[in-house]
Amino acid sequence: MISKSLFSALFLVSSTLAIQLSDVLQKSRVQLQWKQEATNKFSWNATQELKWSVANAFIDVQTSPDGDVYAIQNISSEMSQPKYHIYMYDITTNVWNLTDPAFQAKAIRFDRLGSKFYLTPENCVLNNQKQTLLCGVSDFEVTVDKKIYGLIDNSGRQQADTLSSSIWKTASNDSSYTYKALAGYKGITLLKDQPILINQDGRVDAQYGSEKLISISAGIDGSLWALLDEINVTDYTVLKWQTVSQKWYKITGVSGVSLSSYNEISVAIVDSKGLLSLSSQVGHQDEAAYVVETAPPTIAPSTTQSQTTIPQTTIAPTTIAPTTNPPTTTVPTTVPPLPIVLSQPSNSILTHSDFKWLQTAVTGKNFTEFSLLFSATKNTKSLAEAVNTILGKSDVFVLMRTNTSVVIGFYYKTAIAQASDNYLSSNNELTALLSVTKQLRFMGITDQNRHFGLFNNNRYILLNDQGGMTFGLNCYVDSTIDMTLGKDRVRQYKNVSGNALYEPNNQLSNNSDINNDFVECQQIEIYQAKQ
Ligand SMILES: *[C@@H]1O[C@H](CO)[C@@H](O)[C@H](O)[C@H]1NC(C)=O
Ligand SMILES: *[C@@H]1O[C@H](CO)[C@@H](O)[C@H](O)[C@H]1NC(C)=O
Ligand SMILES: *[C@@H]1O[C@H](CO)[C@@H](O)[C@H](O)[C@H]1NC(C)=O
Ligand SMILES: *[C@@H]1O[C@H](CO)[C@@H](O)[C@H](O)[C@H]1NC(C)=O
Ligand SMILES: *[C@@H]1O[C@H](CO)[C@@H](O)[C@H](O)[C@H]1NC(C)=O
Ligand SMILES: *[C@@H]1O[C@H](CO)[C@@H](O)[C@H](O)[C@H]1NC(C)=O
Ligand SMILES: *[C@@H]1O[C@H](CO)[C@@H](O)[C@H](O)[C@H]1NC(C)=O
Ligand SMILES: *[C@@H]1O[C@H](CO)[C@@H](O)[C@H](O)[C@H]1NC(C)=O
Ligand SMILES: *[C@@H]1O[C@H](CO)[C@@H](O)[C@H](O)[C@H]1NC(C)=O
């Protein structure tokens, strides 16, 4: 993992034409494969985890429809006017190239056909040939039918136009362009050539939740990213618009002051220190073979107890917002119904395909949303911190990556009210033991042994008639400790004449020794699921 602080000291180079990235960064650049991924159709079964790495000192960032990344560097000193340089990132050589040392621009923009436009330090919009089209705007966007939406600056060089009016003014030098200068806005992006504006008070259109935003950017595939306006922060949380639920959700792992998105997975962000981060999938993970056949039957025989009727919610089938223009450079995308994952850590142990599996891993459930309650790596957080997050919460998944290289865990339905609730004190309605890695689930079939709660001073336990797991919910490991005081343990049971009896079995634990049912937590994540 590359830390930001490692890089924050390295930069602010203006004299060289190309900034050679450090070796370690080059390596991660190669892994990023921004454009290669961008040309792939995005597949949701690949991991959604985003990886961040820091590149350079910049004030603004823009991605072209070809997936090229451009960034603007602001070189300023107390003695002189700021100088603005445009760099382009070369994926094959992993170098930021200064595009034209003699030319300055505060921003670079593209229409969807890839034509370039610039905003000069004097707030004039230039076309590809660097001819002036108009002056007096602080930002702008250009549609494929050559309409420029400008945001008026305070220089008085433009009269304000309204969004709804049909009047478009003709640009100078190239009359094929027309424009409007809009007042009262501080941010703009075009989604399939339709403007989405951020009002002066920071609020975006009601269609996008009237959220208070700092910056907004639509990718060529119709994906929409933004920075959330928060009080007392210098770097703002990254948001992604979820078309299925029509909601913004937070992306963890990076924050910033300016962003530009290329598509569903590729977004570039500049933070307050002028550092640029690019997102990427960590890697295309192969989906694990679906091995549910080897799991015990998961249909509960009807019993008199605990048969809750579970409402099945249906997620409306969705496509990306309909285009108003026939798409030219856009990739038509259909987004499958997805579980929404809130606050997933950037170093998450789970991939998006894992969540897809978890969505229906519990019999009778079809979850649409997972929201992180707690995460920790080994021996970094207290048990109280972990337990406080689950009190009163139902439909909880506790999942950990173990020293045996699997992600295993459990699900329980019935909330515990207090940290001290003993596991034997109440029956749970629904429980499941899970191996996410192997896609195995062991549902409690009967209500026999169906418990979740405190096991000893530092371990909680989930039990059902198929087995049990004893976990330190905070990922606490002490290899010298004995079992009664607390070790992570995975047991599997078999039905012998109606009784659940312990059976040595390493399907869940993945220990090579079948009789060893101890594992050690390396990293843990706890989620609450919603249907
Ligand atoms: C460039 O940097 C100077 C000095 O920090 C600052 O005053 C100016 O606003 C910056 N320009 C932009 C466009 O951010
Ligand atoms: C960037 O600069 C390097 C070295 O000067 C050159 O080989 C490469 O072609 C340049 N890339 C672009 C996209 O201009
Ligand atoms: C046309 O472009 C030139 C060069 O950028 C500029 O000097 C001139 O002012 C422009 N004409 C008008 C009418 O804006
Ligand atoms: C923001 O910071 C100021 C100064 O530290 C403080 O007075 C104010 O209460 C903070 N506001 C919020 C909402 O945290
Ligand atoms: C994703 O799923 C599709 C079909 O559902 C499959 O063809 C493709 O190989 C999968 N991709 C990965 C990376 O697993
Ligand atoms: C879960 O819900 C989604 C969306 O309605 C649907 O496509 C899927 O088939 C459902 N899965 C199950 C197992 O019911
Ligand atoms: C165990 O087997 C008995 C029959 O031997 C059956 O009645 C009972 O339901 C089974 N229990 C479980 C948990 O499978
Ligand atoms: C299980 O453990 C073996 C080593 O014992 C390891 O190679 C493998 O990756 C682990 N995971 C799975 C899913 O088998
Ligand atoms: C994992 O940890 C458990 C408990 O300390 C230990 O018994 C087991 O041998 C470990 N397995 C591996 C593969 O390191």
Instruction: State the pLDDT at residue 55.
Output: 38
Please check whether residue 462 is in contact with residue 433, taking contact to mean a CB–CB distance below 8 angstroms.
Answer: yes
User: Which bound ligand lies closest to the C-alpha atom of 89?
Assistant: 2
Q: How far is the CA of 497 from the centre of ligand 7 (A)?
A: 7
Which of 12, 59, 74 most suits a substitution to test ligand 1, by most atoms within 8 Å of the C-beta?
74
d(CA 308, CA 288): 31
Q: Strand ranges (DSSP E) for 257-355?
A: 258-261, 267-270, 275-278, 340-342
Same domain, 259 and 355: no
Task: Tell me if 405 CB under 6 Å of ligand 8.
Answer: yes
Same domain, 350 and 256: no
Task: Tell me if 293 CB under 6 Å of ligand 5.
Answer: no
Task: Tell me if 106 CB under 6 Å of ligand 1.
Answer: yes
Same domain, 215 and 69: yes
Domain range for 55 is 17-24+33-281
| 406 part of a folded domain | yes
Q: How far is the CA of 365 from the centre of ligand 7 (A)?
A: 24
Same domain, 346 and 263: no
Tell me which residue has its CA closest to atom 12 in ligand 5.
286
Domain boundary residue, one of 281, 300, 327: 281
Per-residue pLDDT tens over the stretch 209-252: 899 999 999 987 788 999 999 988 989 998 888 877 788 888 87
Same domain, 270 and 345: no
User: Distance between alpha carbon 39 and the CA centroid of its chain, in Å?
Assistant: 20
Q: How far is the CA of 396 from the centre of ligand 9 (A)?
A: 26
Dihedral (C-alpha) 82, 135, 224, 220: value to the nearest 10 degrees?
Answer: -100
Instruction: State the pLDDT at residue 195.
Output: 96
Domain boundary residue, one of 231, 265, 281: 281
Closest ligand 8 atom to the C-alpha of 406? 11
Same domain, 259 and 381: no
The residue among 337, 283, 296, 282 whose CA lies nearest residue 435 is: 296
Structure tokens, 35: 């454009």
| 12 part of a folded domain | no
**CB-CB neighbours of 313 under 10 Å:** 10
User: Which bound ligand lies closest to the C-alpha atom of 298?
Assistant: 7
Same domain, 347 and 444: yes
d(CA 98, CA 76): 17
Tell me which residue has its CA closest to atom 10 in ligand 3.
132
Same domain, 374 and 502: yes
Closest ligand 4 atom to the C-alpha of 231? 13
Task: Tell me if 199 CB under 6 Å of ligand 3.
Answer: no
Tell me which residue has its CA closest to atom 9 in ligand 1.
82
| 253 part of a folded domain | yes
Which helix (H) or strand (E) covers residue 397, if one does?
strand 396-402
Closest ligand 1 atom to the C-alpha of 72? 13
The angle subtended at Cα 369 by Cα 334 and Cα 433, nearest 5°, is 115
Which of 402, 519, 521 most suits a substitution to test ligand 9, by most atoms within 8 Å of the C-beta?
519
Helices (H), 145-285: none
Task: Tell me if 437 CB under 6 Å of ligand 8.
Answer: yes
3-state secondary structure 134-174: EECEEEEEECCCCEEEEEECCCCCCCCECCCCCCCEECCCC
Dihedral (C-alpha) 443, 448, 449, 451: value to the nearest 10 degrees?
Answer: 70
d(CA 313, CA 529): 13
Q: How far is the CA of 76 from the centre of ligand 1 (A)?
A: 7
Pocket around ligand 7 at a 6 A CB cut-off? 445-446, 465, 495, 497-498
Instruction: State the pLDDT at residue 93.
Output: 57
Which of 494, 495, 497, 499 most suits a substitution to test ligand 7, by most atoms within 8 Å of the C-beta?
495
Tell me which residue has its CA closest to atom 1 in ligand 7.
498
Residue written as tokens 């004995």? Answer: 482
Same domain, 84 and 154: yes
Please check whether residue 267 is in contact with residue 225, taking contact to mean a CB–CB distance below 8 angstroms.
Answer: yes
Same domain, 349 and 256: no
Task: Tell me if 438 CB under 6 Å of ligand 8.
Answer: yes
d(CA 127, CA 173): 10
Query: Domains in the chain: how many in total?
Result: 2
Same domain, 233 and 362: no
Instruction: State the pLDDT at residue 26.
Output: 35
User: Which bound ligand lies closest to the C-alpha atom of 70?
Assistant: 2
Task: Tell me if 284 CB under 6 Å of ligand 5.
Answer: yes
Q: How far is the CA of 252 from the centre of ligand 4 (A)?
A: 23
Please check whether residue 224 is in contact with residue 237, taking contact to mean a CB–CB distance below 8 angstroms.
Answer: no
The residue among 61, 111, 113 whose CA lies nearest residue 88 is: 61
Residue 200: CATH number of its domain: 2.120.10
d(CA 214, CA 211): 10
- Amino acid (one-letter) located at 477: V
Task: Tell me if 318 CB under 6 Å of ligand 5.
Answer: no
d(CA 172, CA 81): 27
Structure tokens, 192: 């399939």
Tell me which residue has its CA closest to atom 8 in ligand 6.
366
As beta bridge partners, residue 303 has: none
Same domain, 277 and 417: no
Task: Tell me if 457 CB under 6 Å of ligand 8.
Answer: no
Closest ligand 9 atom to the C-alpha of 516? 7
d(CA 287, CA 446): 31
Task: Tell me if 520 CB under 6 Å of ligand 9.
Answer: yes
| 50 part of a folded domain | yes
d(CA 116, CA 20): 25
Domain boundary residue, one of 264, 281, 298: 281
Structure tokens, 462: 């989930």
| Per-block mean pLDDT, blocks of 10 residues, the chain (531 long) | 26 26 32 33 26 53 82 72 80 68 92 92 96 97 96 95 94 96 95 93 91 91 89 89 80 82 78 71 30 28 29 24 25 45 84 88 92 94 95 97 96 94 85 96 85 88 91 90 80 80 89 91 96 89
Please check whether residue 226 is in contact with residue 210, taking contact to mean a CB–CB distance below 8 angstroms.
Answer: no
Which helix (H) or strand (E) covers residue 500, if one does?
strand 499-503
3-state secondary structure of 96: strand
Task: Tell me if 92 CB under 6 Å of ligand 8.
Answer: no
| 482 part of a folded domain | yes
| 311 part of a folded domain | no
Closest ligand 5 atom to the C-alpha of 285? 13
Q: Transcribe 354-412 into DSSP letters.
A: HHHHHHTTSTT----EEEEEEEEETTSS-HHHHHHHHTT--SEEEEEEETTS-EEEEEE
d(CA 293, CA 296): 8
Instruction: State the pLDDT at residue 494.
Output: 84
| 366 part of a folded domain | yes
3-state secondary structure of 221: coil
Which of 232, 233, 234 most suits a substitution to test ligand 4, by most atoms within 8 Å of the C-beta?
232
| 214 part of a folded domain | yes
Closest ligand 3 atom to the C-alpha of 133? 14
